[in-house]
Amino acid sequence: MGKSAYGYRGFGDLFVFIFFGLVSVVGTYFLYLHQLDWKIFLPATSVGLLSVAVLNINNMRDYENDKAMGKNTLVVKMGSNLAKFYHYYLVVVAMLSMLVFSVLHLQTGWQLVYLLVFIPLALHLITVKNNKVLKNLDKELKKVALSTFFMSLLFFIGQIL
């Protein structure tokens, strides 16, 4: 809270990645299985990066206002053009991380059902690339958040079938 909040200093992305990705996924895995496997860090990385992508698209949308208000998000620090490339990196590496996990852990075709979510994510990246007015990214925020949710849900369903 206040002017010293981590979001005002550009650390929001790091904390979102750690807590929404690593802690939630790896922590849940450990809670239920009482062991750790290095491979679980792949889907944890994916969920974490997509969660950061939600924050990043929000910060890209709010870039002008945040800059004017002195809120030094990572997007404000790197600028809007670099923020787009950072966003591509977040989404593409998240997708690759899930694919690598699938290659290492594939037992049934149902485990690949989450790949359906790659379609809206790819379309999202095209929209971000073609967007010229950052405030118009508001609709993309919902798309990335829902894609992250559905990818996680379909991944879970694929693992238990």
Tokens 């059902």 sit on residue: 113
Please give the chain's pLDDT, 161 residues, in tens: 556 666 667 789 999 999 999 999 999 999 999 999 999 999 999 999 999 999 999 999 999 999 999 889 999 999 999 999 999 999 999 999 999 999 999 999 999 999 999 999 999 999 999 999 888 899 999 999 999 999 999 999 999 98
Residue 138 lies in a domain: yes
Supply the pLDDT for residue 11: 87
The CB density around residue 12, as the number of other CB atoms within 10 Å, is: 21
Residue 78 lies in a domain: yes
Residue 1 lies in a domain: no
Residue 156 lies in a domain: yes
Domain span including residue 70:
6-160
Residue 74 lies in a domain: yes
DSSP state of 73: -
Residue 18 lies in a domain: yes
DSSP secondary structure letters along 12-70: HHHHHIIIIIIIIIIHHHHHHHSS--GGGHHHHHHHHHHHHHHHHHHHHHTHHHHHHHT
pTM: 0.93
Distance of CA 33 to the CA centre of its chain: 25
Rounded CA-CA distance 80/65 in Å is: 12
Rounded CA-CA distance 53/47 in Å is: 10
Residue 70 lies in a domain: yes
Q: Total domain count for the chain?
A: 1
DSSP secondary structure letters along 80-137: HHHHHHHHHHHHHHHHHHHHHHHHHH--SGGGGGGGGGHHHHHHHHHHHHH---GGGG
Residue 62 lies in a domain: yes
| Residue (of 50, 39, 59, 43) closest to 17 by Cα position | 50
Supply the pLDDT for residue 9: 74
| CB-CB contact of 80 with 63 (8 Å) | yes
Supply the pLDDT for residue 135: 86
